[in-house]
Amino acid sequence: MLQTSALAIGFKEGRDGVSTISQGLNLRLNPNELVCLVGPNGVGKSTLLRTLIGLQKPLSGEIRLLGQSLKQFTATQLAKSVSVVLTNPVSAGAMRVGELVALGRYPFTGLFDVLTRNDLDVVDQSLEIVGAMPLKNRYIDELSDGEKQRVMVARALAQEPHLLVLDEPTAFLDLPGRVSMLSLLKELAHKQKKAVLTSTHDLDLALHTADRIWLMNRNGEISEGSPEDLVLNGQFGKTFNQSNVTFNANTGSFNLGRPPHRSIELHASGINLIWTKRALQRAGYEVQPAGSGNEFIVEVDDSTRPVIWRLRYHGKSSEHTSIYSMLLSLESDI
């Protein structure tokens, strides 16, 4: 679908100055595949996306789309092959959702923009696919951020693209909105046979959803592979680790704060074990299983109602009915 060879991206500065963001990129996008582009802020993800969709010229190297060099595409041909969802806000309040999506037919209509039956059908199908058909007659400024983003995806689909490129489509959405946006993108890749490339800061979601990940580090190098490959070969940790954030390869999530500085023994089972362990880890403890011989012990007694957290150390013992109070006591005594 799309291939780059020895692609260099960046900006031309002044007369002959060049600031290169990334070079030697040999990337590939396939149909039926959702690729998430992730990386720390400011590494040039947007520049890469903008270059791939022709909004910005590459410094050197080549981009081939559908077997043809990107340079050979006319603007209209390109618009019929690639469509985008950008971070730019769309500010036309007196426009209805249906009209906005119909703008996606721009490359197909004539000088006076008369929509054919086919154009109208494509608009409806696009709205249907993203589940925004009920919104068709609403005005854009009445929509929530999540609805607006879906409509923007529908607008992009109305261009009937082979490749759909999105720049941080989840940025302003709440958690359920993020999840449903990414699963929508996955559906577009797998059911509509599109190649979908999206940049995102939701690493957790990307790890769970993406078919492939492009991981861009601070030097502009891109490692690619399935999410699991990148976790196992340590690229994920290397790219994102900072002084106060560490990537936990066991859980696939990021741990905040300092590494554990004390240890504690936890006697519990089931769901109480899971959440008490999380709480202790959050407070900076390394949690050990029962029988480790640690002098600090937390026991969870779930035979009673309410559940009791019992704290034992130095021969003293205290009982708590919540994790919160147990942690407070632990902090104040040590």
Partner 1 sequence: MEKKPTAAELLGNNLPQQRDRLSAIRVFALLLVGLAVLFVVSISLGSVRIPLADVIKILFGQPAARDTWTSIVLNFRLTKALTAMLVGAALSVSGLQMQTLFRNPLADPFILGINSGAALGVALTILTIGATGAYLLAGLGTFGDLSLAIAASMGAGLVLGMILLVGRRIKNPTTLLILGLMFGHATGAVVSLLIYFSIPERIQAYTIWSYGSFAGVTWSQMRVMLPVILLGLLIAVFLPKSLNALLLGEEYARTLGLNIARTRFWVLLSASILAGTATAFCGPIGFLGVAIPHVSRNLFKTSDHKWLLPAVALLGAGAALVADAIAQLPGSQYVLPINVITSLFGAPFVLWVVFKKKRGATSFTV
Q: Applying CB under 8 A, which residues contact partner 1?
A: 53-55, 74-80, 82-84, 86, 88-96, 98-100, 103-104, 106-107, 109, 111-118, 120, 136-137, 139, 141, 159
**Alpha-carbon gap, residue 147 to 29, rounded angstroms:** 28
Kind of pairing, strands 163-167 and 28-29?
unpaired
**Alpha-carbon gap, residue 85 to 194, rounded angstroms:** 14
**Alpha-carbon gap, residue 267 to 288, rounded angstroms:** 9
Residue 106 beta carbon to partner 1: minimum distance, rounded to whole angstroms: 4
| Phi then psi dihedrals of residue 268, to 5 deg | -165, 175
- Considering beta carbons, is residue 104 or 177 the nearer one to partner 1? 104
| Phi then psi dihedrals of residue 308, to 5 deg | -115, 130
Element housing 223 (H / E): strand 222-225
Residue 89 beta carbon to partner 1: minimum distance, rounded to whole angstroms: 7
- Considering beta carbons, is residue 13 or 244 the nearer one to partner 1? 13
- Considering beta carbons, is residue 185 or 266 the nearer one to partner 1? 185
Residue 285 beta carbon to partner 1: minimum distance, rounded to whole angstroms: 49
- Considering beta carbons, is residue 93 or 259 the nearer one to partner 1? 93
Residue 279 beta carbon to partner 1: minimum distance, rounded to whole angstroms: 44
Alpha-helix runs per DSSP H in the chain = 45-52, 75-81, 97-102, 117-129, 145-157, 175-191, 203-209, 227-232, 235-240, 270-282, 323-333
**Which residues neighbour 64 within 8 Å (Cβ) at sequence distance 6 or greater?**
2, 3, 4, 5, 70
Residue 188 beta carbon to partner 1: minimum distance, rounded to whole angstroms: 17
Burial class (CB in 10 A: 0-12, 13-18, 19+), 99: middle
Residue 76 beta carbon to partner 1: minimum distance, rounded to whole angstroms: 4
Secondary structure (3-state) at 265: strand
- Considering beta carbons, is residue 78 or 308 the nearer one to partner 1? 78
Beta carbons of 67 and 212 less than 8 angstroms apart:
no
Residue 214 beta carbon to partner 1: minimum distance, rounded to whole angstroms: 21
- Considering beta carbons, is residue 82 or 188 the nearer one to partner 1? 82
- Considering beta carbons, is residue 44 or 98 the nearer one to partner 1? 98
Query: How many other CB atoms are found less than 10 A from the CB of residue 51?
Result: 25
